[in-house]
Amino acid sequence: MTKILIIEDEPLYQKMIAHPLIPLGYEIATASDGEEGVKTAMANPPDLIICDMMMPKMDGFQVTRLLRRDVRFAHVPILILTALAGLKEKLEAFEAGADDHMTKPFEPAELVARINVLLRRHESTLQQPSPPKTEAHVIAVHSLRGGSGCSSLAVNLGIGLSNMWHVPTLIMDQVLNAGQVALMLNAPLKRTWADLANIPADEIDWELLKTVVFKHENDVNFIAAPTYPSQADLISEEMFTKVFGIFREHYEYIIADLPHDFSGTTIQVLDTANVVVMLFSPELASVRAAAAALDTYHKLKYSDDKIKLVLNWTFERRGLIRKNIEAVLGLPITHVIPFATDLFIDAINTGKPLLSNRPNENLCTILERLAYLLSKPVHTSHSPFPVVQPGKK
């Protein structure tokens, strides 16, 4: 029987929440404040938690953050109830690691529908088989200039590759001080890189990593950057080396969203990558940063074949001419992403990537073709370029 824990300090709301759930056969447990809720959950882990935001002793966000530190609650759905409906509350729920939030008062039918969705997702996560050991094809998305669209591109490449080849695919958020991959996938920060910080490298294995890797509805997996920038320093190069090595054995594709630097972990990924996608815009500062990055790639002995220049038109007009950019950089631009700022901004603000939410846009065909061109030769040599609709397999 599915167990639901209700953490709510108002007896009336406890009854209002439980009333539509009991006839559906759920086993209901209740707690009257945050501290009691945590103790109850720890003693008898439920399948789903409904938690009020404003409570004495410990609020709902504190409860959520505390439970997420325990690997037993890495994937347990948590629904936050709040009397407030602003953007601030939504972001706080996301950062605490809640799967969803609802505003009081609520309709019982909507509550039941939200719970059913969360439980189906949870069941899907539990049934996800462990990917077999393989050798990942690593695609590093890199730029030395912020605002070039690296995270948006990494997310869409991950979805495109997963939809196209139906193989284990991971988006790895390496922007450890301010990564946005989870936000772009509308996924709460349940557990992140920071949850591995205090574990000795020799104790890290695949079973442990499954508690910090999450699956998006398009079947692509991701590991999120830490919630707070101060946690970035907790990720040691030794730990990253161990984790990255295990990921490479369990995924066919890894798309790494890299920070705008050449730090130790960035170079580890660049060295290992089969392809380095160097993203930039047609403006002088971005081209200058691209030239600096290329100079460093060459000093690191990367072949020109490994580097793919992708030009992203982040503004509508008056950009530098393509042939002039190529002359300065000394390499051809292999792909151009046309100006589509409104589409990308909508995707970021809603947490719905273009390839999953707007598949009929011409821009999606362009992004899918780029994913195809960056794919493993063993895939492209046997399959012509397909245009894949999300969810159709």
**Mean pLDDT across 126-141:** 77
pLDDT at 217: 85
Whether the predicted pLDDT of 85 surpasses 60: yes
Phi, psi of 231 (to 5 degrees): -85, -10
pLDDT band at 71 (very low <50, low <70, confident <90, very high): confident
pLDDT at 391: 44
Whether the predicted pLDDT of 86 surpasses 80: no
pLDDT at 57: 85
Pairing of strands 221-223, 214-215: antiparallel
* Cβ–Cβ < 8 Å for 80, 98: yes
pLDDT at 69: 86
Whether the predicted pLDDT of 392 surpasses 90: no
Q: Where are the alpha helices (DSSP H) in 146-235?
A: 150-165, 181-184, 206-209
pLDDT at 136: 95
* Cβ–Cβ < 8 Å for 166, 393: yes
pLDDT band at 132 (very low <50, low <70, confident <90, very high): low
pLDDT band at 75 (very low <50, low <70, confident <90, very high): confident
Give residue 301's identity as a one-letter amino acid code. K
Cα separation of 192 and 231, whole Å? 10
Whether the predicted pLDDT of 388 surpasses 80: no
pLDDT band at 178 (very low <50, low <70, confident <90, very high): confident
Q: Over the chain, what is the mean pLDDT?
A: 91
pLDDT at 89: 79
Rg (CA), the chain: 22
Please indicate whether residue 57 or residue 324 has the higher confidence score (pLDDT): 324
DSSP code string of 52-66: ESS-SSS-HHHHHHH
Strand partners, 254: 138, 170
pTM of the model: 0.82
Please indicate whether residue 46 or residue 381 has the higher confidence score (pLDDT): 46
330: its two tokens = 């000394």
Whether the predicted pLDDT of 117 surpasses 50: yes
Residue-wise pLDDT tens digits, 348-376: 999 999 998 998 999 999 999 999 999 99
Whether the predicted pLDDT of 387 surpasses 60: no
Whether the predicted pLDDT of 389 surpasses 60: no
Tell me the domains of the chain and their CATH numbers.
Answer: 3-127 (3.40.50.2300), 137-380 (3.40.50.300)
* Cβ–Cβ < 8 Å for 368, 387: yes
pLDDT at 228: 86
Q: Is 358 helix (H, G, I), strand (E, B) or coil?
A: coil
Residue-wise pLDDT tens digits, 192-251: 999 998 888 889 999 999 999 999 988 899 999 998 888 998 899 999 999 999 999 999
Cα separation of 144 and 278, whole Å? 9
Distances (CA, A) of 366 to 277, 290, 332, 342, 384: 15, 22, 18, 16, 15
Residue-wise pLDDT tens digits, 256-289: 999 999 999 999 999 999 999 999 999 999 999 9
pLDDT band at 393 (very low <50, low <70, confident <90, very high): very low
pLDDT at 131: 60
Give percent above pLDDT 90 in the chain: 73
Cα separation of 167 and 118, whole Å? 24
pLDDT at 294: 97
Cis (ω within 30 of 0) for the bond into 105?
yes
Cα separation of 154 and 166, whole Å? 17
Give residue 307's identity as a one-letter amino acid code. I
pLDDT at 121: 80
